[in-house]
Amino acid sequence: MNEALRYVLLAALFLFLYRVVRVVGEDLRAASRELDRPWAVLLVEEGPGLSPGEAFAVRGEALLGRGTGNDVAVPDPEAGPRHARLVASGDSFWLEDLGCPGGTYVNGRRLEAPAPVRHGDRVRVGSTVFRFLQPRGPRAAGV
């Protein structure tokens, strides 16, 4: 009985390490896939608590909002705690309003449903305005 338990112990120990190595390997592969995902930059044009020219890099997906838990933390009292979401789909990015009363605007038009954003678009969250830059993505009209 004890002898069997010894081997169970060693088996569990090494199965644990094997699974950990698998998980670490998966994470490394995921990180390498992450590098292949489309990227963009949100460049601050105006807004309280942010300096014009300040930039937020976005790769894959990002949450925009007032809380520091967001990927793009906007210190703007008019922005919601989780205001909007930017998601990559294929080669382009889509912007989704998360239901805050102030709304999310792209080139002055309020978002009613998720919509694609293009290189050069102006994105407004609360009273903060960003220029969306995706040099390798689809371009806005006139850019």
Partner 1 sequence: MHPAGTLPTKGVWWRGAELYALALAVGLAGAALVHANKHPQDPPLALLYVAAALLAFPAVDRVLQAGESVLLPVTALLVAVGLVTTYRLQPHLVAYQAAWVCGGLALSVASFRLACRPVNPQRLVTPLAALLVTVSLFPWGWAWVGRGLVIRTPAEAAVVDVASELAKLLALALGVAELPREKVRGYVAAAWAAAATLWLLRGDVGTAAVMVWVVLALAYCAGAPLRSVVAAAGGFLVMGVLAYFTIPQVAERLRGWVNPWADRLGVGYPLVQSLFAMAAGGLIGAGPGAGYPELVPQSHAGFVLAAVAEEWGFSGVVALVAAYAVWTGRAVRAAGQAKVPWLRLLAAGAAALVGSQAFLAAAGAAALLPPTDVAMPFVSARGVSAAVHLALVGAVLAAPRARGELPWGTG
Q: Give the Å distances, CA to CA, from 49 to 24, 31, 77.
A: 39, 32, 10
- As measured in angstroms, the least distance from the Cβ of 86 to partner 1 is 9
From the list 71, 88, 69, the residue with the least C-alpha distance to 130 is: 71
> 75, 66 in Cβ contact below 8 A?
yes
**Binds partner 1 (CB under 8 A): choice among 38, 43, 45, 73:** 73
Interacting span for partner 1 (CB under 8 A) from 68-76, 90-98, 119-127, 132-140: 68-76
23 touching partner 1, by CB under 8 A: yes
Task: Record the tokens describing residue 71, joined without a space.
Answer: 């990927």
**Binds partner 1 (CB under 8 A): choice among 38, 45, 60, 120:** 60
5 touching partner 1, by CB under 8 A: yes
For residues 23 and 143, which CB has a smaller minimum distance to partner 1 in the complex?
23
> 103, 84 in Cβ contact below 8 A?
no
**Distance between CA 83 and CA 44 in Å, rounded?**
16
Q: Give the binding site for partner 1 (CB under 8 A).
A: 1-3, 5-6, 8-10, 12-17, 19-20, 23-24, 27, 30-31, 33-34, 56-62, 68-71, 73
